[in-house]
Amino acid sequence: MATLNLPTAAGTVEPYTTGAPGNFATAKPPYPRIAYAAAHVVADPLSEQDPWLDAKVDWDRTIAFRRHLWSLGLGVAEAMDTAQRGMGLDWAGAQELIRRSLDAARDFPEAVIASGAGTDHLAPGPDVTVDDVIRAYEEQCEAVEGMGGRIILMASRALAKAAKSPADYVRVYDRVLSSVRQPVIIHWLGEMFDPALEGYWGHHDHMQAMEVALEVIASHADKVDGVKISLLDDRKEVSMRRRLPKGVRMYTGDDFNYAELIAGDAEGHSDALLGIFDPIAPAVGGALAALSRNDLSTFHEILAPTVPLSRHIFKAPTRFYKTGVVFMAWLNGHQDHFVMVGGQQSTRSIQHFAELFRLADKAGLLSDPERAASRMRTLLALHGVA
């Protein structure tokens, strides 16, 4: 145990004593659910750079973290928004990341990996057409499949800007899905994660947008492994899940309600592709091991304390959740610094980090409480907290 002084929401400081780390059982896949962790990238703080403009990556530590996830039996969703895709990591960096991760996956015979393909090399603008968006998607899909990867078809900011109606979305996805070699995971990322995606599928109302997405999926069910929706609304996810064509999976992207959605109900369940699985990976491994034994009680017992942590990390503005993910990686020794691509370590307050520390500890997710407390004290000192 370790004791340190932590700020409170009231602007005061109070002592906090850590508990013991969790002892999470693990099991080897196959699990009864597919579980992808959208993984973060580790910045290289020693490179000469302009931190807000350049993306210098520590490739060794970044790939080591993927190996950590695979060792726990989780899949890796590569080059997604958790990796700061389009928010610090550009398409050139994403290609390098995907290539290195696919190479590393060969060392794990059971490794599961899928990689983001989108249009982020195409800047949205008034002169960008729907045909430009199609070509951009095709370029990235060809690149990922050319490296031997499977595709997560990311939502497109350029499409959200260029589309004039739902028909434009149908046209783009019809064209792209017709050309891919293997079934893809379609990612519907809500505007709470990326404001530029407001009105995706041609509707601001999510239920109307869902009709367009379901039309696309039904027309290409043989090319769609599943759909990941990140709307932070379990009712919308369940509604869509129950209407998917047979054989098409729902991958929950709900970082608020994942436990219940993964457990499922009498009519089905969700698999998972989640950013929160990056920092809570050991607990996820333990929970899936319990689910393999049909032990729902232990499954919920393990995941329940992680939910308040996840809701805190993903609190509004939700797009800043990556900061909490990387903060946890630093506390747990997966990197030696708390520096992020694009300087995004600055997007959350010291009060936010203090509460995150408490919640992570209560969930048993500080693997070495003494080390975590020592690092937290360093951050506190930088903020003038003794």
In this structure, are strands 75-78 and 35-38 parallel, antiparallel, or unpaired? parallel
Sign (positive or negative) of CA dihedral 352, 355, 361, 364: negative
Residues 197, 242: contact at Cβ < 8 Å? no
Helix (H, G, I), strand (E, B) or coil at 89: strand
Q: What percentage of the chain exceeds 70 in pLDDT?
A: 100
Mean pLDDT of 171-182: 98
Instruction: Return the pLDDT at 49.
Output: 84
pLDDT digits (tens, 9 = 90+) for 46-73: 998 888 888 899 999 999 999 999 999 9
Instruction: Return the pLDDT at 51.
Output: 82
Residue 107, pLDDT above cutoff 80: yes
Residue 129, pLDDT above cutoff 90: yes
**Cβ atoms within 10 Å, residue 29:** 18
Helix (H, G, I), strand (E, B) or coil at 212: helix
Mean pLDDT of 101-122: 96
Mean pLDDT of 280-297: 94
Residue 29, pLDDT above cutoff 90: no
Instruction: Return the pLDDT at 52.
Output: 83
Domains of the chain listed by start with CATH number: 23-343 (3.20.20.70)
Angle between helices 91-105 and 59-71 (to 10 degrees): 50
Residue 223, pLDDT above cutoff 80: yes
Element at 217 (helix H, strand E): helix 206-219
Cα 3 to chain centroid, rounded: 31
Residues 364, 352: contact at Cβ < 8 Å? no
Helix (H, G, I), strand (E, B) or coil at 152: strand
Mean pLDDT of 370-383: 97
Q: What whole-number distance in Å separates Cα of residue 135 and Cα of residue 175?
A: 10
Mean pLDDT of 212-233: 98
Residue 271, pLDDT above cutoff 90: yes
Element at 36 (helix H, strand E): strand 35-38
Where does the pLDDT of residue 371 fall: very low under 50, low under 70, confident under 90, or very high at 90 and above? very high
- Specify the pTM: 0.96
Mean pLDDT of 313-327: 97
Q: What whole-number distance in Å separates Cα of residue 312 and Cα of residue 270?
A: 22
- What's the whole-number average pLDDT of the chain? 96
Q: Taking the C-alpha atoms of 327, 333, 335 and 336 in order, what is their torsion angle to the nearest 10 degrees?
A: 100
Mean pLDDT of 214-226: 98
Q: What whole-number distance in Å separates Cα of residue 276 and Cα of residue 385?
A: 28
Minimal CA–CA distance to 44: which of 386, 261, 298, 341? 341
Return all residues near 143 (Cβ < 8 A) that are at least 6 apart. Answer: 95, 117
Instruction: Return the pLDDT at 11.
Output: 87
Where does the pLDDT of residue 357 fall: very low under 50, low under 70, confident under 90, or very high at 90 and above? very high
Element at 252 (helix H, strand E): strand 249-252
Q: What whole-number distance in Å separates Cα of residue 93 and Cα of residue 276?
A: 22
Instruction: Return the pLDDT at 275.
Output: 98
Residue 27, pLDDT above cutoff 80: no
Instruction: Return the pLDDT at 30.
Output: 82
Q: What percentage of the chain exceeds 90 in pLDDT?
A: 92
Instruction: Return the pLDDT at 53.
Output: 82
Where does the pLDDT of residue 151 fall: very low under 50, low under 70, confident under 90, or very high at 90 and above? very high
Instruction: Return the pLDDT at 386.
Output: 80
Mean pLDDT of 132-140: 98
Mean pLDDT of 121-142: 97
